[in-house]
């Protein structure tokens, strides 16, 4: 073979630098070694001593024997860094070649940047050697042992911005002659190893692994060519490997050497007999076996599965052992072996431990959540099946106190009442073991399939640089803040100048509010000027963290945050915003707020702190402030708070427990920790939580990596950052969970990938060359079992072309539905699609729900939420998607166009399927909690919900019992209405332990505001006796239970009261008061303290708006577009119709204010006036304005014949055909009109 001329390098001992952040430590190369040391950078920057310069234009030639494949760029970051690290060359793709003798070499490629983040992929001699992923100011090495067989080494560099600072190449010293010199079995077991000494070696490293271990562990180092391992155990088998270090480089491991610690003489002991588990507790398993003659010891092995790897957990000289390192919520499999100097016996057959501990997750107590909605053929009623109820439970449904189902309802939790009306009231009673239970709270009938939660919209403001901003409702989360079994709604308000981290500029403050379903505002938290507004800054967790039945709220705070009680956190005057609007200095906090009041319960420093901003990937504030948050059951039973920072480079997750008013840190996971380096740069803009490894405790799946329940790394795929991911039992034929994820990395071997959630094993992946921005996984096609997974192609966020795949990775369609959210909406088992119709001009989206027509590869619209806007631009997120009430189908929430309310849509499709409320599913509930985090993703369940599914089991959960209630009156129902509307209140008793048989109930109200309408019985067997006494301002009702079997106990709603609101001149707040005297079966009377309920009557005079809408609609219907006299310009009717539609939305808003009505009147009146003024007052052919169409008009047109609208003397009056040219068509139209 013809050898290339070797490059000229120094071969004497020389110093060179290796990376370690910004520190550079000297290393030496043996004089016996030929070193090839290259310092890459500009043509003028300093070169490290002993290194050869490679600048951007150092091209390869056979005369020099080294160089680049092409001219590229270079950078020098200045004297703040060492000579070897300050500068580099940079390009998307280039090669570096070096001529050298054939043989084995150690190669180290160093890449990084003093002022920017960097990703560099390294291929040497055609083999992918890995990549770097560094934050600003950091540097990483890619090392490899490379064989050169053709006289030249080729180093190929790739990545979006591939950089090289240093390449160091030294000849490898390969280990040889590793052997066992001696195995000692007594008095202390040991293994003596030796090997051939090599020249220039500074130290040797000894590695070992035991049976069943996948990886070697380094057990020692030595400068001699021999080593004694004294940590071995008798009878066990070990595999050894040895490396050497020359000039700072560690060689590859030697060929493996397997050794059994036995003397090879005599007879091995027999297999222990009668091996058994004698007892087990929640935290221990007791084992016992027969003594074996000649055995000196016994080893105990354990596995999590019968056919899995059995690892030695203990050794004992006794014939019994108690394993106290387990929690017996899952079965464990055990084997034992006896040992003596001759070796180890065969393992026994396995025995399996019983389950003694069942993890019961602490979750929220929910009411029945009954909903009733008017539909064309009756009333649709839905209710919850609670996660604490047995699968054998059934239900009875009552309308106005009368049961309407002929037999108990067992197969669903919904019902279509064909005789129901808008005036009906419904309750549900569960039947357990044949006994009917207490009635649920009553549900009045809604006129439409949506309801509005009125909001208190914050007032806008102006930034320090004079930019005005307004507010809109953004992300929403739910939790039972007050312990009443009903959800409250926590709303984040975004200013109109909210920013992505990559965008500079000031933002308005972020507000977080809490509301009851009726719009009652509980509190407002102002995060202050030192929390920037944007999707990546504020992730708020709403969850009952301490199990007291009331949810807390947790989020990142700062100096100047004002809690719900008005208390200012830290230095309220502090302003840490820099001139670009970023906040890169000042303290950062994590605060826990009380759900009922919004007051601060605890504040601690946020971990991790930002530290040096550039260490996160850039210096201007983008990557340092990427936050995520979640809730996870790390111990299997109690929720923990997970707060995170970073995912492009450094990645840190911190877990906390909140109990008894104390916030306790559980663990920290940091990719900067040794052995965690491969986890850097793997996070998403979102995350998922589930027990992926089956031990009953949750893991956090953080994009392309996962963290175990104990805070250690579970796995990393190395596929990098992405924007979307979905975790569930997506493939029901595989055990455990799967993850479908898309990735930004380009090119990628699996830009969309389907993997095992437990191990990270790639089940299938599709290579991509573009940033895969969106992807979804859900069962939308019943022809294929399991979830379908699809992602957009390079065409854009709304692309309908891409790939759709089944669970095996087979492409089933190249035309895809929207890739935003999936929702369970209609009555079948497939999931529907939640998306929006986006307007590129107004940059707003209107929410919708779609059905995938898999036969024709197109979508059908099931719901268009007209009058609402979606969130987060083209992402089209709802405020929230969750199973909020009714049966198991999900509700969708969007904000009204003006953010005056949140609108919640509910399905009215009847279904024959029955599942536990999704909010009691462990994976789904945590999915709802983290839904607001980063780039919002829909929640998924812990089981496969789709075609061909099996019925999921009852969840293992527990809910708070709550404090014993004092006996008393319950007064519930609506709290806001308009004049002329009917208010329905429900009267009942709570906390009743001894049955109540008779009741004298009184209601008082202000007769200036209400008039009495009616009362209705709500509970079977409890009747109104005699006439209802009613005078203006007061109603009295006598209630009697028809026998002791119908005595009132517990919590029961008994009657409803209807009052009609009178006309008012302004919005008023008044009270309805209820009191009662009750008696038990023995005639003992008790007077309950009265309760009052505040009621708001919103003044809303719609008469002017109603009249104006009617006038505008009549005008619209009679108008004709054209150019003739009395006709309207083309397009003018569409403008008027848009104004009418907007006014009718105000007209239909049940929570509209008078100010909003007057604004709507003004806007519609202006639109109508403008429309009427646009009418053609003369005929369009009267071009000379003579008042008639005649030969004079024809002459005017003929004089302009042949002109186009681009000509300087163009006159549009002559273009009666309105086509941009004056031709025969214009003349013939006017001539025809004259002849007529």
CATH code for the domain of 207: 2.60.40.10
**In the predicted model, is pLDDT for residue 18 greater than 70?**
no
Per residue in 960-987, pLDDT tens? 875 566 789 988 887 777 888 889 999 9
Bridge partners of 415? 381
Instruction: Tell me what percent of the residues of the chain surpass a pLDDT of 70.
Output: 96
* β-sheet with 713-716: strand ranges across: 688-690, 699-701, 705-707, 713-716
In this structure, the number of other CB atoms found within 10 A of the CB of residue 1099 comes to: 15
Instruction: State the Rg of the chain over Cα.
Output: 38
CB 44 within 8 A of CB 83: no
Last-in-domain residue among 297, 320, 353: 353
Instruction: Tell me: do 40 and 161 sit in the same domain.
Output: yes
> Poorest-confidence range of 860-864, 1078-1082, 1214-1218?
1214-1218
Rounded Cα–Cα distance for residues 1025 and 1036 (Å)? 11
236-250, 422-436, 443-457, 1086-1100: which has the highest mean pLDDT? 443-457
Rounded Cα–Cα distance for residues 681 and 670 (Å)? 12
What is the model's pLDDT at position 34? 65
Rounded Cα–Cα distance for residues 1102 and 1105 (Å)? 5
In a domain, 1056, yes or no: yes
CB 428 within 8 A of CB 397: yes
In a domain, 1057, yes or no: yes
> Poorest-confidence range of 137-146, 509-518, 681-690?
137-146
| Token representation of residue 273 | 């007999």
For residue 123, the domain's CATH number is 2.60.120.430
Per residue in 565-610, pLDDT tens? 999 999 999 999 999 999 999 999 999 999 999 999 999 999 999 9
> Poorest-confidence range of 14-23, 514-523, 698-707, 894-903?
14-23
What is the model's pLDDT at position 423? 93
pLDDT band per the 50, 70, 90 thresholds, residue 297? very high
What is the model's pLDDT at position 14? 27
Instruction: Tell me: do 1020 and 1072 sit in the same domain.
Output: yes
Rounded Cα–Cα distance for residues 375 and 420 (Å)? 9
Instruction: Tell me: do 986 and 1058 sit in the same domain.
Output: yes
What is the model's pLDDT at position 774? 94
**In the predicted model, is pLDDT for residue 17 greater than 60?**
no
In a domain, 646, yes or no: no
pLDDT band per the 50, 70, 90 thresholds, residue 135? confident
φ, ψ (nearest 5 deg) of residue 619:
-105, -5
Mean pLDDT within 744-748: 89
Per residue in 1163-1187, pLDDT tens? 999 899 999 988 876 567 888 878 7
Nearest 10 degrees: Cα torsion 1040, 1041, 1047, 1053: -70
Instruction: Tell me: do 211 and 325 sit in the same domain.
Output: no
Bridge partners of 982? 1060
**In the predicted model, is pLDDT for residue 1100 greater than 80?**
no
Mean pLDDT within 665-687: 94
Non-local CB neighbours of 579 within 8 Å, separated by 6+ positions: none
**In the predicted model, is pLDDT for residue 199 greater than 90?**
no
Nearest-CA neighbor of 533 among 503, 497, 559, 568?
497
In this structure, the number of other CB atoms found within 10 A of the CB of residue 3 comes to: 12
Per residue in 207-219, pLDDT tens? 999 987 888 999 9
608 preceded by a cis bond (ω within 30 of 0): yes
- Alpha helices by DSSP H, listed for 989-1092, are none
Non-local CB neighbours of 1026 within 8 Å, separated by 6+ positions: 1038
Last-in-domain residue among 447, 475, 501: 447
In a domain, 244, yes or no: yes
| Token representation of residue 620 | 């201007």
Instruction: Tell me: do 127 and 53 sit in the same domain.
Output: yes
For residue 1135, the domain's CATH number is 1.20.1270.90
736, burial (CB in 10 Å: exposed 0-12, middle 13-18, buried 19+):
middle
Rounded Cα–Cα distance for residues 512 and 757 (Å)? 34
**In the predicted model, is pLDDT for residue 8 greater than 70?**
no
Instruction: Tell me: do 1093 and 1107 sit in the same domain.
Output: no
| Token representation of residue 247 | 């000039």
Mean pLDDT within 686-696: 97
pLDDT band per the 50, 70, 90 thresholds, residue 632? very high
| pTM for the full predicted model | 0.76
For residue 1092, the domain's CATH number is 2.60.40.680
CB 321 within 8 A of CB 308: no
Nearest-CA neighbor of 493 among 899, 894, 928?
899
Per residue in 1000-1032, pLDDT tens? 999 999 999 999 999 999 988 999 998 889 999
What is the model's pLDDT at position 962? 58
Provide the mean pLDDT of the chain. 91
Residue that has been written with the tokens 């953004």 in this structure? 474
In a domain, 696, yes or no: no
Instruction: Tell me: do 63 and 148 sit in the same domain.
Output: yes
Nearest-CA neighbor of 182 among 63, 263, 267, 92?
263
**In the predicted model, is pLDDT for residue 13 greater than 50?**
no
Instruction: Tell me: do 156 and 41 sit in the same domain.
Output: yes
For residue 129, give its domain range: 36-171
Last-in-domain residue among 1119, 1151, 1174: 1174
Mean pLDDT within 1124-1136: 84
> Poorest-confidence range of 103-117, 453-467, 638-652, 742-756?
103-117
Number of domains in the chain: 6
Helix (H) or strand (E) holding 751: strand 748-756
Mean pLDDT within 1083-1106: 86
Per residue in 258-267, pLDDT tens? 999 999 888 9
Per residue in 355-379, pLDDT tens? 998 899 999 999 999 999 999 999 9
Nearest 10 degrees: Cα torsion 1147, 1149, 1152, 1155: -40
Instruction: Tell me: do 1088 and 1106 sit in the same domain.
Output: no
**In the predicted model, is pLDDT for residue 160 greater than 80?**
no
Residue that has been written with the tokens 């028809």 in this structure? 1042
Instruction: Tell me: do 67 and 166 sit in the same domain.
Output: yes
What is the model's pLDDT at position 1064? 84
Instruction: Tell me: do 220 and 162 sit in the same domain.
Output: no
Strand 1085-1097 vs strand 976-977: parallel, antiparallel, or unpaired?
parallel
What is the model's pLDDT at position 1236? 73
Instruction: Tell me: do 1093 and 1119 sit in the same domain.
Output: no
In a domain, 287, yes or no: yes
Rounded Cα–Cα distance for residues 562 and 966 (Å)? 35
| Token representation of residue 466 | 């004079």
In a domain, 1047, yes or no: yes
**In the predicted model, is pLDDT for residue 171 greater than 90?**
no
Bridge partners of 145? 106
E strands, 317-363, where?
Answer: 320-323, 333-340, 343-344, 351-352, 361-362
**In the predicted model, is pLDDT for residue 29 greater than 50?**
no
In a domain, 1050, yes or no: yes
């Amino acid at each position: 073979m013809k050898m290339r001329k070797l490059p000229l390098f120094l071969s004497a001992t020389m110093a060179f630098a290796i990376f370690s952040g910004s520190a550079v430590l000297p290393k030496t190369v043996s004089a016996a070694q030929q070193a090839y040391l290259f310092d890459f950078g500009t043509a003028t920057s300093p070169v490290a001593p002993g290194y050869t310069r490679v600048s951007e234009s150092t091209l390869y030639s056979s005369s020099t024997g080294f160089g680049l494949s092409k001219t590229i760029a270079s950078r020098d970051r200045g004297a703040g860094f060492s000579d070897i690290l300050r500068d580099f060359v940079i390009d998307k793709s280039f090669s570096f070649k070096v001529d050298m003798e054939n043989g084995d070499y150690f190669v180290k490629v160093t890449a990084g940047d003093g002022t920017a983040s960097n990703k560099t992929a390294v291929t040497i001699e055609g083999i992918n050697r890995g990549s770097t992923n560094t934050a600003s100011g950091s540097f990483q090495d890619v090392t490899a042992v490379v064989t050169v067989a053709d006289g030249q080494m080729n180093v190929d560099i790739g990545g979006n911005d591939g950089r090289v600072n240093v390449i160091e190449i030294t000849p490898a010293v390969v280990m040889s002659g590793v052997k066992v010199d001696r195995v000692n079995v007594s008095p202390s077991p040991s293994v003596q190893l030796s090997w051939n000494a090599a020249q220039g070696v500074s130290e040797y490293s000894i590695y070992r692994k035991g049976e069943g271990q996948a990886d070697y562990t380094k057990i020692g180092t030595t400068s001699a060519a021999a080593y004694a391992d004294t940590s071995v155990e008798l009878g066990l088998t070990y595999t050894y490997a040895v490396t050497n270090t020359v000039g700072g480089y560690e060689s590859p491991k030697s060929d493996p050497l397997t050794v059994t610690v036995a003397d090879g003489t005599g007879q091995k002991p027999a297999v222990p007999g009668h091996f058994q588990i004698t007892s087990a507790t929640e935290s221990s398993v007791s084992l016992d076996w027969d003594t074996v003659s000649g055995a000196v010891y016994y080893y105990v092995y354990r596995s999590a599965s019968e056919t899995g790897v059995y690892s030695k957990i203990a050794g004992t000289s006794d014939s019994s052992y108690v394993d106290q390192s387990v929690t017996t919520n899952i079965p464990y499999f055990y084997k034992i072996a006896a040992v003596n100097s001759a070796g180890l016996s065969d393992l026994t057959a396995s025995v399996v431990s019983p389950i003694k501990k069942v993890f019961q997750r602490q979750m929220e107590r929910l009411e029945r959540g009954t909903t009733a909605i008017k539909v064309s053929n009756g009333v649709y009623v839905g209710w919850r099946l609670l996660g604490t109820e047995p699968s054998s439970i059934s239900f009875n449904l009552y309308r106005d106190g009368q049961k309407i189902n002929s037999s108990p309802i067992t197969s669903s939790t919904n019902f279509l009442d064909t005789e129901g009306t808008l005036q009906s009231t419904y309750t549900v009673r569960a039947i357990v073991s044949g006994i009917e239970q207490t009635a649920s709270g009553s549900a009045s009938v809604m006129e439409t399939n949506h309801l509005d939660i009125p909001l208190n919209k914050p007032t806008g403001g102006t930034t320090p640089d004079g930019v005005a901003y307004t507010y809109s409702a953004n992300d929403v989360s739910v939790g039972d803040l007050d312990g009443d079994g009903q959800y409250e709604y926590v709303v984040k308000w975004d200013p109109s100048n909210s920013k992505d981290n990559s965008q500079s500029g000031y933002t308005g403050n972020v507000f977080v509010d809490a509301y009851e379903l009726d719009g009652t505002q509980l509190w407002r938290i102002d995060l202050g000027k030192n929390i920037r507004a944007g999707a990546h800054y504020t992730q708020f967790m709403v969850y009952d963290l301490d199990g007291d039945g009331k949810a807390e709220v947790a989020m990142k705070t700062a100096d100047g945050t004002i809690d719900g009680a008005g208390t200012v956190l830290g230095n309220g005057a502090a302003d840490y915003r820099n001139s670009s609007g970023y906040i890169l200095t000042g303290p950062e906090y994590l605060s826990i707020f009380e759900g009922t009041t919004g007051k601060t319960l605890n504040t601690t420093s946020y971990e991790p702190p930002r530290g040096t901003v550039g260490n996160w990937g850039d210096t201007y504030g983008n990557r340092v402030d990427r936050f995520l948050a979640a809730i996870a059951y790390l111990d299997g039973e109690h929720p923990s708070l997970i707060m995170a920072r970073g995912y492009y480079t450094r990645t840190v997750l911190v877990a906390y427990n909140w109990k008894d008013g104390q916030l306790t840190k559980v663990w920290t996971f940091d990719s900067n920790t040794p052995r965690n380096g491969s986890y850097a740069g793997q996070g998403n803009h979102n995350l998922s939580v589930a027990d992926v490894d089956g031990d009953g405790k949750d893991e956090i799946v953080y994009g392309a990596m996962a963290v175990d329940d104990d805070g250690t790394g579970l796995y990393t795929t190395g596929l990098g950052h992405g924007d979307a991911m979905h975790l569930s039992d997506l493939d029901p034929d595989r055990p455990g969970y799967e993850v479908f994820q898309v990735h930004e990395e380009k090119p990628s071997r699996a830009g969309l990938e389907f993997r095992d959630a437990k191990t990270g094993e790639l089940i299938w992946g599709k290579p991509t060359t573009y940033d895969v921005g969106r992807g979804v996984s859900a069962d939308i096609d019943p022809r294929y079992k399991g979830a379908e997974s699809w992602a957009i192609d390079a065409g854009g966020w709304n692309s309908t072309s891409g790939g759709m795949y089944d669970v095996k990775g087979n492409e089933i369609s190249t035309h895809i539905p929207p890739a935003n959210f999936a929702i369970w909406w209609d009555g079948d088992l497939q999931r529907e699609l939640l998306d929006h119709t986006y307007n590129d001009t107004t940059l707003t989206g209107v929410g919708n729900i779609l059905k995938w027509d898999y036969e024709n590869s197109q979508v059908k619209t099931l719901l268009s939420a007209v009058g609402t806007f979606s969130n987060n631009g083209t992402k089209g997120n709802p405020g929230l998607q969750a199973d909020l009430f009714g049966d198991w189908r999900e509700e969708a929430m969007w904000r009204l166009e003006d953010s005056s309310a949140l609108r919640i849509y509910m399905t009215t499709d009847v279904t024959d399927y029955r599942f536990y409320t999704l909010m009691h599913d462990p994976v789904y509930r945590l999915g709802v909690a983290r839904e607001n985090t980063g780039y919002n993703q829909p929640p998924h369940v812990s089981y496969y919900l789709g075609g061909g599914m099996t019925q999921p089991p009852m969840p293992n959960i527990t809910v708070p019992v709550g404090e014993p209630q004092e006996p008393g009156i319950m007064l519930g129902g609506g709290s806001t209405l308009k004049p002329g509307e009917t208010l329905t209140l429900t009267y009942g008793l709570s906390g009743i332990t001894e049955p109540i048989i008779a009741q004298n109930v009184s209601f008082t109200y202000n007769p200036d505001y209400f008039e009495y309408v009616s009362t209705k019985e709500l509970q079977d067997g409890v009747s109104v006796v005699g006439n209802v006494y009613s005078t203006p301002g007061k109603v009295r009702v006598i209630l009697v239970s028809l026998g002791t079997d119908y005595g009132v106990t517990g919590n029961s709603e008994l009657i409803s009261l209807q009052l009609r609101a009178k006309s008012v001149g302004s919005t008023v707040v008044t009270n309805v008061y209820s009191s009662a005297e009750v008696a038990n079966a023995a005639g003992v009377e008790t007077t309950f303290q009265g309760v009052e309920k505040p009621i708001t009557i919103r003044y809303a005079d719609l008469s002017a708006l109603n009249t104006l809408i009617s006038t505008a609609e009549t005008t619209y219907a009679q108008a004709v577009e054209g150019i003739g006299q009395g006709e309207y310009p083309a397009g003018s009717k569409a403008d008027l119709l848009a104004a009418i539609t907007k006014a009718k939305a105000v007209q239909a808003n049940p929570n509209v204010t008078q100010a909003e009505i007057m604004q709507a009147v003004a806007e519609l009146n202006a639109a109508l006036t403008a429309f009427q003024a646009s009418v053609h007052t003369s005929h369009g052919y009267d071009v000379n304005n003579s008042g008639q169409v005649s030969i004079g008009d024809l002459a005017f047109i003929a004089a302009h014949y042949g002109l186009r609208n681009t000509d300087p003397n163009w006159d549009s009056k002559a273009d009666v055909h309105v086509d941009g040219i004056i031709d025969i068509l214009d003349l013939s139209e006017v001539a025809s009109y004259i002849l007529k």
